[in-house]
Amino acid sequence: MNQTDQPALSVVAPCYNEEGVLPEFVKRVGAVLDGVGGTAEIVLVDDGSRDRTWAVMGEVAAIDPRVVGVRLMRNHGHQLALTAGLSVCRGERILIIDADLQDPPELLPDMIALMDQGADVVYGQRRVREGESLFKRATAAAFYRIIGRLTDVDIPSDTGDFRLVTRRVLDILLAMPERHRFIRGMVAWIGGRQVALQYDRKARAAGETKYPLMKMVRFAVDAITAFSVVPLMASMMIGWIMAAVGFAFFVYSIVGFMLGYNIPGWTSLMAAMGLLFGMQFLMLGIIGAYLGRLYDQNKGRPLFMIRDIVGGSGGGKQ
């Protein structure tokens, strides 16, 4: 395939120490692509693996010419490895999938059918999660609940990055310059017609999870801070409360002084402390509010995203 022709479909999978599953992954994805027909590529990103993942990519690429292997300099983490793959892929439609076969590539035809009916994004939504510990399921459930509460974007629960997106959605995603990327949230934020497709999540085909607890916590922090300034706003709330408490102390000590039941020196001390602490917290809150706006601005997300244009000199779809 030369540079100019664009495959109808790209399958993009980040891979970190996945030597055990890659041959099986490419075989299964390849079979699905054969069934779907049309041109396709399978973009595999080696995220600085420590095992033979890169060598195995070479082997599978020799067997299946649709395979494109990309190797990163070092381990960048799931979301950035995926971003690398997404910026390399050239397909008209793009399937994002994990390499461990937890998400069945066999769903692709159903996803394509939904997209043919006008969906911009078809995301897989997990019905059950096999082979995952109670702890993993509980933390995942808590994660989606907190995200749902704190963010103003409607991020669907029980959804990974497994989804089919249009080139238009992908181009917008790639144009979002933020450094801490929570891709499933960013795609939800883009909007358009997002349709769920339910499926049963399987256990890993081989290898083990690359998301130990610390990574999950970091992921959650990224997710929340990327879509919410609620934690910053909390300082504003506390500021108001502390200011009110401080002012109450101020009044209380002054009144006490006038009624004459006070230790000498206590009044001025309490009055000053109450006022100053209250004001300090309030100021912190105000700084928090501005910082939140600055942060939003700094993310540099597009203000709006045009989906289609009809009429005018362009005459129809852009």
Q: Which residues bind ligand UDP (CB under 6 A)?
A: 13-16, 18, 47, 75, 77-78, 81, 98-100, 102, 209-211
Instruction: Specify the residue, 117 or 209, whose C-beta has the smaller distance to ligand UDP.
Output: 209
Q: Please, what is the minimum distance in Å from the beta carbon of residue 102 to Mg ion?
A: 4
Instruction: Specify the residue, 75 or 225, whose C-beta has the smaller distance to ligand UDP.
Output: 75
Instruction: Specify the residue, 97 or 111, whose C-beta has the smaller distance to Mg ion.
Output: 97
Instruction: Specify the residue, 16 or 250, whose C-beta has the smaller distance to ligand UDP.
Output: 16
Q: Which residues bind Mg ion (CB under 5 A)?
A: 98, 100, 102
Instruction: Specify the residue, 41 or 100, whose C-beta has the smaller distance to ligand UDP.
Output: 100
Q: Please, what is the minimum distance in Å from the beta carbon of residue 100 to ligand UDP?
A: 4
Q: Please, what is the minimum distance in Å from the beta carbon of residue 181 to Mg ion?
A: 18
Q: Please, what is the minimum distance in Å from the beta carbon of residue 102 to ligand UDP?
A: 5
Are 107 and 180 spatial neighbours (Cβ–Cβ below 8 Å)? no
Long-range own/partner contacts, residues 271-275 (CB < 8 A, 24 or more apart): 273/246, 273/249, 274/245, 274/246, 274/247, 274/248, 274/249, 274/250, 275/246, 275/247, 275/250
Instruction: Specify the residue, 15 or 173, whose C-beta has the smaller distance to Mg ion.
Output: 15
Task: Give which of ligand UDP, Mg ion, none residue 47 binds (C-beta under 5 to 8 Å, depending on kind).
Answer: ligand UDP
Task: Give which of ligand UDP, Mg ion, none residue 78 binds (C-beta under 5 to 8 Å, depending on kind).
Answer: ligand UDP
| Among 162, 170, 196, 34, CA closest to 92 | 170
Task: Give which of Mg ion, ligand UDP, none residue 182 binds (C-beta under 5 to 8 Å, depending on kind).
Answer: none
Q: Please, what is the minimum distance in Å from the beta carbon of residue 103 to ligand UDP?
A: 9
